[in-house]
A = this chain, B = another copy of it.
Amino acid sequence: MQRKRLIKLITAATVMLLAAAAFGTPDEGMWTFDNPPLKLLKATYGFTPTQEWLDHVRLASVRFMDGGSGSFVSPDGLVMTNHHVAVGQLQKISTPEQNYVATGFYAATPDQEIKSSDLEVNVLVDMKNVTGRVEQAIAGAKSDQEKLKARDAVIAEIEQESKEKTGLRSNVVSLYSGGEYWLYVYKEYTDVRLVFAPERQAAYYGGDFDNFTYPRYDLDVAFFRVYENGKPVQSEHFFAWNKEGAGEDDLVFVSGNPGSTNRLNTYAQLVYQRDYQYPMTLGLIDSWIGALREYSSKGEEQERRALVRIFGLENAKKAMTGEFGGLQDTSLMNQHKRKEEALRKQIAADPEMQQRYGGAWETIETLLASDTDRINRQFYQGFFGSRLTGLAINIVRYAAEVTKPDAERLDGYHEAELENTRFGLLSPAPIFQDMEEATLTWSLGLSQKGLGDDDAFIKTVLNGKTPEHVAAGLTKETKLYDVNFRKKLIEGGEKAVKACKDPLIVLMRKLDPLLRENIEWNREHMQSAFESAAEKIARARFAIYGKDIYPDATFTLRLSYGTVTGYPMNGTKAPCKTTLYGLYDRAVSFDNEGDFMLPRRFWDRQDRVDLSTPVNFVSSCDIIGGNSGSPVINRKAEVVGLIFDGNIESLPGRFMYDERINRAVAVHTAYISEALRHLYDAGKLADELEGN
């Protein structure tokens, strides 16, 4: 017994040391469901999830196609996600008379549930490793360009085959920067109806100020019900509700779809992002927010229309500023550099490996320094933030692409993707002319400034006129607001599009060759070489560390794990949870004003709620944007919380996870139960959750 225990300890230590060599700390990682960190979990927490546990968790998890995660939380198709994932839908169903963003929404009976116009949720029903087939297909390629083409072709083939065979959404996902390829098969649900959302003032309490921070007091929850054939889906796999919720030091898991991370980037790529990409993009965001704020200031209705977009941009800005902070942190950067040097040293020590992978890092560094003028120019040759221009270019391309063989099409127009593309093109969500005009004016002005009047893009779009003039003309004359008009164009195919006199379609027909040239050039000169080098590095990493590593996030399903625990903050420590006392404190501290105003019901019903109810809590689970709406579950796969944010210290997590301070912020299930029952008169919904 003694001996066995000793061996176990040694093994655990070895596992952790190996993992640390590759990545760092025990709670790090967004693991794929085919490769959960079983050794680490056993070593650190003495817990080993069974295959059944893993399958159940995967099948109870959903992905929101327009960004975000969720989960089934009742046998009758009830899906929980964040209010901020649902807010776009809330806005779309709102009118000037009935603003659900401001008032919240509750369907006490099924007939009151409101169907979303363009919401789609996916469940990952199957995963298959297709690395072998992809590698075989590219084995004969003689250049990076050929390789890229061959890979795209075989991927489209695999997706199309699967789509035909299963009738389900089929995506080949590149993991570990091309180290592996997996076919992910999703069941899609498009009949998704809104059941409950609190008012934004409670959901997004503290507003942009508190966004990305902790301690936090948000009721950032919304419930949808998923229907199939007009009836609620009978979800075999759903997470049972645990209304006690997460407790300090509990082991918890997050199952969701982290959007993207750059942890496998080379040091040179991080430097490039620090010195060029982040400053440039942050500048763009600032300018965009400025334009929308100006639009907002024109009236209440304008303010309502721009709200969600501004919220999204503020969100992006704060996040990017935090990430940028990570890139500017020399200690973090040096850590990344040292890890890369350690890997390269081990590769260099083996002549065969050095021959195969050794040059990849230099290749990337060289690529980053090349063609910078052209890359800068391409940045401005496009439209920022306008929905109409997006629809127009997509329609023009759709018509052209569907006539080609699948393998030769642009991304987004492969056979397997068409249904989804059409779904987006035919969304009946309202488009506001004045907001489009304001956005397009700003976007064209920015491009004109960045490119000068002699640039081909500017000549084609402005043709000597002002951005104001062109934007007003295009947005006033186009008929693309009309879903039926779009539908007819799509159904009419290339002929209809070519004959179309709509000014936006005409413009995009003219612009498309230039934009395609950019896409093509990027593929030929950049993407192919980058991917080829990244693939080499991925293989080098496998060669040294095996599969004790996880891939960068790709907005596909991942499992994270960690402990419910506070962290050192601002000279003191942050508790692992906050309470309703704290929510009222923050409101009173700011005189119940602005973003810190609590909805009336919180004051009227203060004595009905238990002020010591936990509101939000933090865990060391490794998450990132896209994880919003993910369930936090315990060992028994019961839901104990709902991810809605990371703390400010987690933002450099795009590049590096720091277990000491990186925390995922979640709504506590006790707060959701308490609020539904005592603040929102939604006892029926609480009963459904609690299985009463």
Interface residues in chain A, defined as those with a beta carbon under 8 Å from any beta carbon in chain B: 206, 209-213, 215, 248, 318, 322, 569-573, 575-579, 581-582, 584-586, 588-591, 596, 611-612, 648
A589 CB, min distance to chain B CBs, angstroms: 4
Contact partners of A572 in chain B: CB under 8 A: 206, 209-211, 213
Q: B611 touching A570 by the CB < 8 A rule?
A: no
- Partner of A573 from the list B209, B212, B576, B585 (CB cut-off 8 Å) is B209
Q: A579 touching B589 by the CB < 8 A rule?
A: yes
CA of A345 to CA of B648 in the docked complex: distance in angstroms?
42
Q: B248 touching A570 by the CB < 8 A rule?
A: no
Q: A584 touching B611 by the CB < 8 A rule?
A: yes
Contact partners of A209 in chain B: CB under 8 A: 572-573
Q: A570 touching B570 by the CB < 8 A rule?
A: yes
Q: Given A322-B571, A570-B648, A578-B589, list of 16 further CB < 8 A pairs? A: A209-B573, A211-B572, A215-B589, A569-B570, A570-B570, A575-B586, A575-B590, A577-B589, A578-B585, A579-B588, A581-B582, A581-B585, A581-B588, A582-B585, A582-B589, A588-B611
- Partner of A588 from the list B215, B248, B318, B612 (CB cut-off 8 Å) is B612
Q: A585 touching B589 by the CB < 8 A rule?
A: no
Minimal Cβ-Cβ distance residue in B for A578: B589
CA of A668 to CA of B433 in the docked complex: distance in angstroms?
52
A517 CB, min distance to chain B CBs, angstroms: 42
Q: A248 touching B591 by the CB < 8 A rule?
A: yes
Minimal Cβ-Cβ distance residue in B for A207: B572
A381 CB, min distance to chain B CBs, angstroms: 35
Q: Select the residue from A206, A212, A248, A573 with max chain B CB neighbours within 10 A.
A: A573
8 closest A-B pairs by CB? A582-B585, A575-B589, A571-B648, A581-B585, A213-B571, A581-B584, A209-B572, A213-B572
Q: Select the residue from A209, A576, A581, A591 with max chain B CB neighbours within 10 A.
A: A581
A265 CB, min distance to chain B CBs, angstroms: 24
CA of A209 to CA of B427 in the docked complex: distance in angstroms?
53
CA of A210 to CA of B572 in the docked complex: distance in angstroms?
5
Show 9 residue pairs from A and B whose CB-CB distance is below 8 angstroms, ordered by the A residue. Answer: A209-B572, A209-B573, A211-B572, A213-B571, A318-B571, A575-B590, A579-B584, A579-B589, A581-B585
Contact partners of A586 in chain B: CB under 8 A: 575, 582
Contact partners of A322 in chain B: CB under 8 A: 571
Q: Select the residue from A210, A212, A575, A577 with max chain B CB neighbours within 10 A.
A: A575
Contact partners of A576 in chain B: CB under 8 A: 589
Minimal Cβ-Cβ distance residue in B for A247: B591
Minimal Cβ-Cβ distance residue in B for A206: B572
Contact partners of A579 in chain B: CB under 8 A: 584-585, 588-589
Minimal Cβ-Cβ distance residue in B for A591: B248
CA of A578 to CA of B571 in the docked complex: distance in angstroms?
17
Contact partners of A573 in chain B: CB under 8 A: 209
Contact partners of A569 in chain B: CB under 8 A: 570
CA of A611 to CA of B591 in the docked complex: distance in angstroms?
13
CA of A596 to CA of B575 in the docked complex: distance in angstroms?
10
Contact partners of A596 in chain B: CB under 8 A: 575
A80 CB, min distance to chain B CBs, angstroms: 24
A657 CB, min distance to chain B CBs, angstroms: 18
A662 CB, min distance to chain B CBs, angstroms: 14
CA of A330 to CA of B611 in the docked complex: distance in angstroms?
45
A491 CB, min distance to chain B CBs, angstroms: 49
Contact partners of A581 in chain B: CB under 8 A: 581-582, 584-585, 588, 611
A409 CB, min distance to chain B CBs, angstroms: 43
Contact partners of A588 in chain B: CB under 8 A: 579, 581, 611-612
A143 CB, min distance to chain B CBs, angstroms: 47
Contact partners of A213 in chain B: CB under 8 A: 570-572
Contact partners of A570 in chain B: CB under 8 A: 213, 569-570, 648
Minimal Cβ-Cβ distance residue in B for A216: B572
A421 CB, min distance to chain B CBs, angstroms: 37
Contact partners of A589 in chain B: CB under 8 A: 215, 575-579, 582
A181 CB, min distance to chain B CBs, angstroms: 38
A376 CB, min distance to chain B CBs, angstroms: 30
A668 CB, min distance to chain B CBs, angstroms: 12
A586 CB, min distance to chain B CBs, angstroms: 7
Minimal Cβ-Cβ distance residue in B for A577: B589
Minimal Cβ-Cβ distance residue in B for A648: B571
CA of A322 to CA of B572 in the docked complex: distance in angstroms?
13
Minimal Cβ-Cβ distance residue in B for A584: B581
A484 CB, min distance to chain B CBs, angstroms: 46
Contact partners of A248 in chain B: CB under 8 A: 591
Contact partners of A318 in chain B: CB under 8 A: 571
CA of A590 to CA of B578 in the docked complex: distance in angstroms?
9
A140 CB, min distance to chain B CBs, angstroms: 52
Minimal Cβ-Cβ distance residue in B for A215: B589
A593 CB, min distance to chain B CBs, angstroms: 10
Minimal Cβ-Cβ distance residue in B for A647: B571
CA of A575 to CA of B582 in the docked complex: distance in angstroms?
13
Contact partners of A591 in chain B: CB under 8 A: 248
CA of A582 to CA of B611 in the docked complex: distance in angstroms?
11
Contact partners of A206 in chain B: CB under 8 A: 572
Minimal Cβ-Cβ distance residue in B for A212: B571
CA of A589 to CA of B581 in the docked complex: distance in angstroms?
9
CA of A579 to CA of B589 in the docked complex: distance in angstroms?
6
CA of A612 to CA of B584 in the docked complex: distance in angstroms?
8
A247 CB, min distance to chain B CBs, angstroms: 10
CA of A577 to CA of B576 in the docked complex: distance in angstroms?
23
A664 CB, min distance to chain B CBs, angstroms: 15
CA of A322 to CA of B579 in the docked complex: distance in angstroms?
30
CA of A212 to CA of B571 in the docked complex: distance in angstroms?
7
- Partner of A582 from the list B211, B571, B577, B582 (CB cut-off 8 Å) is B582
Contact partners of A210 in chain B: CB under 8 A: 572
Contact partners of A577 in chain B: CB under 8 A: 589
A246 CB, min distance to chain B CBs, angstroms: 13
Contact partners of A612 in chain B: CB under 8 A: 584, 588
CA of A581 to CA of B584 in the docked complex: distance in angstroms?
6
CA of A215 to CA of B588 in the docked complex: distance in angstroms?
13
